[in-house]
């Protein structure tokens, strides 16, 4: 017996407990040496601090529906009154029946363990109190996901045991037993990624911890000793046997009657198991990418912490309820459209973002390829709707989608809505002023030094309304030349195009106004939302509010809205873009209820990307279609089961926008945006096809000088609801 006892004390972790619990309190300040160099009992700090427990964070849509649950550890901390009394009794009875009778160390338990282990010749019974187990769990929690730190926290050494005992003594001085038990039930691990009793109750029985029955509570209490060995899914017989042992202990400690025990033992395990649902990959209705965007917002917005480490800590610690701007109905409409019109197996993909004008709230974010890591299923974790810094890629060239930004800059610079340019079919890139100097064309006369229009029939002169409807390249190049590249870049910045999607700054090159620098659908949707909001730009907003699980509010960033152009400028842009949808390249994209819409198509060189961005008075959306990686030319291609010779903004992304927006606005009020009267250009004289006025050597109208005999352009059109402009000349359908 003595020999077995010595072996036990030398090899078992309980040896440390025995020495620390019996020798040290009696010896006072006498230090204890150990091979591992443990500090003396008195030198161990007693300022035991319990960290905030990592908990699950829940992300909700604007209607309160759960988008996803994300966590480092699946845990929901609950108070004692939210725990079943059966659970509290069962855990104490099986782990530390004398918990309410002893202090931080249980001398009777130690002696009993020595006897049992000596009789068996092995360590079959431990003697750590529930308080000591709690201290150990806290140390593991502090270690986080660092495997080295976790291993150190669990190392069974004399020094570690002495430290745990010192902390346990301090803990029992500071907290009542009931609170220690509550803390223990919230921190301990129950297997299958469930930390704490609330997560365990949900995982195994799909119910709250307060509703656990006697047999359910007994089964969960039995898991703590060895969650793998007593796993009810993998080892149901062992789990039930362990459950019944717990029930016997509850009878022994007079917490239940013999009749209750018989009834509980007769009950089946009754599992209603739920697989762990962690992360944005579990998000419903295609919201995984938006979920990931929310994660980036929390980790990057200074309102959530003064530095990156603080913001990461907030996210990792969890325990947040994040209520977002996501509208489930609009998300469903967007996801349905991008999925039905572009198949996940197609060589190209589509992405769509919807934004509320005047608030910047993101209402929908959808894309064809699903969120995930399985490439064989065409999954991706790259969010094509957003910039690289927010989980996206390097973006896509928007093509003519960018031209309204040039028009807004020109109108702000004082050019009139009737601005006219020669707009030849092809021209050399002209010299242009930049913010810091001058850009010069070093390849004049060569193909690479010229810019053509899409169609050989596009020969000016043109005025703004017609040039936008036809998407005439040379018109907007001449407009850029007149106002300077700096004005275009500054207007883009004001409208939220802070740089390329990759994070690089916009380059002051003449092709900027023709959309050759990559952006994301979210950025373009927000640009067009600013037009709908009469010149007020609002930075994208994904989060309405955040609260902790105990009901405390977490500050969120307020909406950041600024006037970036005059209302009159925005009204002219609205009128011009209304012409695009009435008689321009987007004339076939009317919504089901025929409400007022405005927008712009865009197609890049070789048809590698196609866009449509448009809006009603209360909803803006942008759709991109293309290949994110290989830059597939969309010619002679099958998309969504339909063959297309060539894809344009009006024929590829346009119908996606049309379908999604028709569904999205169905329950929304019909809100129009203000428009102004812009006179049609004069009819062309067959003897003067260029349209150059007699005696004039230039095709450029003087800023602010309306045509003789016409109403003042830029003023609300009298006698017409909404001030809708006259229709423009029907375009060539291939012009973008």
pLDDT at 423: 96
pLDDT at 684: 63
State how far the alpha carbon of 79 is from the alpha carbons of 74, 136, 217, 417, 536, in Å: 17, 21, 17, 66, 47
Task: Encode pLDDT of 63-106 as tens digits.
Answer: 999 999 999 899 999 999 999 999 999 999 999 999 999 988 87
Looking at residues 110-116, what average pLDDT do you find?
61
Look at residues 342, 337, 400 and name the one whose alpha carbon lies nearest to residue 731. Answer: 400
Query: Cα(656)–Cα(341) distance, rounded to whole angstroms?
Result: 7
Give phi and psi for 545, each to the nearest 5: -160, 160
Q: Let me know: does 408 contact 479? Beta carbons within 8 Å.
A: no
Query: Cα(564)–Cα(197) distance, rounded to whole angstroms?
Result: 53
Task: Please state whether beta strands 620-626 and 609-615 pair in parallel, antiparallel, or not at all (unpaired).
Answer: antiparallel
| 591 burial via Cβ count (<10 Å: 0-12, 13-18, 19+) | buried
Q: What is the DSSP letter of 435?
A: S
Query: What's the whole-model pTM score?
Result: 0.82
Looking at residues 400-423, what average pLDDT do you find?
97
Grade residue 43 by pLDDT with cuts at 50, 70 and 90: low
Contacts of 284 (CB under 8 A, 6+ apart): 65, 66, 67, 68
Q: Which two tokens stand for residue 458?
A: 């596009």
497-504, long-range: CB < 8 A, 24+ apart: 497/405, 497/523, 497/527, 500/394, 500/395, 501/386, 501/387, 501/388, 501/392, 501/393, 501/394, 501/395, 501/396, 502/387, 502/388, 502/394, 502/395, 503/387, 503/388, 503/389
Grade residue 147 by pLDDT with cuts at 50, 70 and 90: confident
pLDDT at 736: 59
Chain-centroid distance, C-alpha 628: 20
Grade residue 357 by pLDDT with cuts at 50, 70 and 90: very high
| 629 burial via Cβ count (<10 Å: 0-12, 13-18, 19+) | exposed
pLDDT at 698: 34
Task: Encode pLDDT of 266-290 as tens digits.
Answer: 999 999 999 998 899 999 889 999 9
Task: Identify which of 5-19, 151-165, 709-723 has the greatest average pLDDT.
Answer: 151-165
Count the neighbouring beta carbons within 10 Å of the beta carbon of residue 116.
16
pLDDT at 349: 97
Contacts of 213 (CB under 8 A, 6+ apart): 84, 86, 264, 267
pLDDT at 44: 59
Grade residue 52 by pLDDT with cuts at 50, 70 and 90: confident
Q: Let me know: does 531 contact 358? Beta carbons within 8 Å.
A: no
Alpha helix segments (H runs only) across 253-327: 258-266, 288-300, 308-317
Give phi and psi for 380, each to the nearest 5: -155, 155
pLDDT at 455: 87
Grade residue 32 by pLDDT with cuts at 50, 70 and 90: very low
Q: Let me know: does 294 contact 542? Beta carbons within 8 Å.
A: yes
Q: Which two tokens stand for residue 279?
A: 């992360």
Mean pLDDT lowest for which of 122-136, 178-192, 229-243? 122-136
Mean pLDDT lowest for which of 47-61, 127-141, 426-440, 673-687? 673-687
CATH topology of domain 74-266: Penicillin binding protein transpeptidase fold (1.10.3810)
pLDDT at 104: 82
Query: Cα(175)–Cα(448) distance, rounded to whole angstroms?
Result: 78
Q: Which two tokens stand for residue 584?
A: 């321009």
| Average pLDDT across the chain, whole number | 86
Query: Cα(475)–Cα(3) distance, rounded to whole angstroms?
Result: 99
Domain ranges of the chain: 74-266
Q: Let me know: does 608 contact 515? Beta carbons within 8 Å.
A: no
Give phi and psi for 80, each to the nearest 5: -60, -40
Helix (H) / strand (E) element for 113: namely helix 107-120
Query: Cα(34)–Cα(23) distance, rounded to whole angstroms?
Result: 14
Looking at residues 467-484, what average pLDDT do you find?
97
Query: Cα(161)–Cα(149) distance, rounded to whole angstroms?
Result: 16
Query: Cα(509)–Cα(437) distance, rounded to whole angstroms?
Result: 12
Task: Encode pLDDT of 567-605 as tens digits.
Answer: 999 999 999 999 999 999 999 999 999 999 999 999 998
Grade residue 683 by pLDDT with cuts at 50, 70 and 90: confident
Task: Encode pLDDT of 534-574 as tens digits.
Answer: 999 999 999 999 999 888 999 999 999 999 999 999 999 99
Query: Cα(585)–Cα(156) distance, rounded to whole angstroms?
Result: 74
- How long is the chain? 736
Task: Please state whether beta strands 320-324 and 635-639 pair in parallel, antiparallel, or not at all (unpaired).
Answer: unpaired
Grade residue 685 by pLDDT with cuts at 50, 70 and 90: low
Query: Cα(56)–Cα(166) distance, rounded to whole angstroms?
Result: 31
Give the 3-state DSSP-derived string for 120-157, with helices as H, strands as E and coil as C.
Answer: HCCCCCCCCCHHHHHHHHHHHHHHCCCHHHHHHHHCCC
Query: Cα(326)–Cα(283) distance, rounded to whole angstroms?
Result: 12
Q: Let me know: does 597 contact 616? Beta carbons within 8 Å.
A: yes
Residue 694 pLDDT > 60: no
Instruction: Say if residue 461 is preceded by a cis peptide, omega within 30 of 0.
Output: yes
Q: Let me know: does 599 contact 620? Beta carbons within 8 Å.
A: no
Query: Cα(506)–Cα(489) distance, rounded to whole angstroms?
Result: 7
Residue 124 pLDDT > 80: no
Query: Cα(269)–Cα(180) distance, rounded to whole angstroms?
Result: 29
Sign of CA dihedral 580, 583, 589, 593: positive
Alpha helix segments (H runs only) across 318-445: 328-341, 403-412
Sign of CA dihedral 431, 434, 438, 441: negative
Looking at residues 381-386, what average pLDDT do you find?
97
Mean pLDDT lowest for which of 130-134, 215-219, 400-404, 679-683? 679-683
pLDDT at 681: 83
Helix 197-205 crosses helix 177-187 at what angle (to 10 degrees)?
A: 50
User: Beta strands of 357-511 (E only): which ranges?
Assistant: 362-367, 420-421, 426-428, 432-433, 438-439, 450-452, 462-463
pLDDT at 118: 53
From edge to edge, which strands make up the β-sheet containing 349-355? 362-367, 349-355, 620-626, 609-615, 598-603
For residues 354 and 688, the model is more confident at: 354
Q: Which two tokens stand for residue 609?
A: 């990307």
């Amino acid at each position: 017996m003595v020999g077995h006892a010595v072996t036990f004390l030398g090899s078992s972790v309980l040896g440390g407990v025995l020495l620390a619990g019996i020798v040290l309190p009696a010896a006072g300040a006498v230090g204890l040496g150990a091979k591992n160099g443990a500090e003396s009992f008195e030198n161990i700090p007693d300022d035991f601090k319990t960290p905030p427990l990592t908990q699950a964070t829940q992300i909700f849509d604007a209607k309160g529906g759960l988008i996803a649950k994300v966590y480092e550890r699946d845990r929901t901390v609950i108070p004692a009154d939210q725990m079943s009394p059966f659970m509290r009794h069962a855990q104490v009875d099986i782990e530390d029946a004398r918990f309410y009778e002893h202090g931080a160390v249980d001398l009777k338990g130690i002696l009993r363990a020595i006897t049992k282990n000596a009789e068996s010749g092995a360590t079959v019974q431990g003697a750590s109190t529930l308080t000591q187990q709690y201290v150990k769990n806290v140390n593991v929690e502090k270690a986080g996901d660092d495997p080295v730190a976790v291993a150190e926290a669990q190392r069974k050494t004399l020094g570690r045991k002495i430290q745990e005992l010192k902390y346990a003594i301090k803990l029992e001085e500071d907290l009542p037993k009931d609170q220690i038990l509550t803390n223990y039930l919230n921190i301990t691990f129950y297997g299958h990624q469930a930390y704490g009793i609330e997560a365990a109750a949900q995982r195994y029985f799909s119910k709250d911890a307060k509703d656990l029955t006697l047999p359910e509570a007994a089964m969960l209490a039995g898991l703590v000793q060895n969650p793998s060995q007593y796993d009810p899914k993998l080892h149901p017989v062992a789990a039930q046997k362990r459950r019944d042992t717990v029930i016997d202990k509850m009878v022994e400690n007079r917490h239940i009657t013999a009749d209750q025990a018989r009834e509980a033992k007769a009950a089946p395990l009754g599992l209603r198991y739920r697989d762990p649902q962690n992360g944005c990959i579990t998000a419903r209705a295609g919201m995984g990418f938006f979920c990931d965007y929310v994660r980036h917002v929390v980790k990057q917005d200074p309102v959530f912490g003064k530095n990156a480490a603080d913001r990461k800590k907030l996210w990792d610690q969890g325990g947040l309820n994040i209520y977002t701007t996501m509208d489930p109905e609009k998300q469903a409409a967007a996801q349905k459209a991008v999925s039905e019109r572009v198949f996940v197996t197609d060589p190209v993909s589509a992405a769509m973002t919807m934004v509320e004008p005047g608030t910047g709230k993101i209402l929908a974010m959808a894309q064809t390829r699903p969120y995930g890591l399985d490439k064989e299923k065409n999954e991706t974790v790259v969010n094509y709707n957003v910039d690289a810094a927010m989980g996206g890629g390097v973006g896509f060239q928007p093509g003519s989608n960018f031209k309204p930004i040039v028009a807004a800059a020109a109108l702000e610079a004082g050019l009139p809505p009737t601005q006219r340019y020669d707009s030849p079919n092809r021209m050399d890139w002209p010299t242009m002023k930049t913010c810091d100097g001058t850009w010069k064309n070093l390849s004049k006369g060569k193909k690479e030094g010229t810019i053509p229009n899409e169609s050989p029939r596009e020969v000016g002169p043109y005025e703004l309304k017609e040039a936008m409807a036809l998407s005439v390249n040379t018109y907007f190049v001449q407009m850029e030349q007149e106002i300077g590249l700096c004005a275009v870049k500054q207007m883009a910045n004001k409208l939220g195009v802070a740089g390329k999607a990759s994070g690089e700054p916009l380059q002051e090159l003449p092709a900027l106004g023709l959309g050759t620098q990559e952006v994301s659908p979210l950025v373009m949707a927000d640009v067009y939302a600013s037009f709908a909001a009469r010149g007020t730009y609002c930075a994208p907003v994904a989060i309405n509010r955040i609260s902790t699980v105990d009901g405390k509010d977490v500050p969120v960033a307020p909406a950041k809205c600024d006037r970036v152009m005059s209302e009159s400028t925005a009204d002219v842009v609205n009128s011009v873009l209304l012409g695009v949808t009435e008689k321009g390249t987007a004339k076939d994209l009317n919504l089901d209820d025929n409400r007022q819409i405005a927008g712009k198509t865009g197609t890049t060189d070789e048809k590698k990307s196609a866009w449509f961005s448009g809006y009603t008075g209360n909803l803006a959306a942008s759709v991109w279609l293309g290949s994110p990686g290989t830059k597939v030319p969309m010619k002679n291609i099958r998309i969504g089961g339909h063959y297309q010779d060539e894809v344009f903004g009006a024929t590829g992304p346009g119908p996606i926008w049309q379908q999604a927006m028709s569904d999205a606005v169905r329950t929304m009020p019909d809100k129009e945006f203000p428009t102004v009267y812009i006179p049609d250009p004069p009819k062309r004289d067959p003897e003067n096809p260029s349209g150059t006025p007699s005696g004039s050597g230039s095709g450029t109208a003087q800023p602010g000088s309306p045509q003789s005999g016409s109403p003042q352009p830029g003023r609300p059109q009298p006698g017409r609801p909404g001030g809708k402009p006259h229709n423009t000349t029907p375009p060539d359908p291939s012009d973008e």
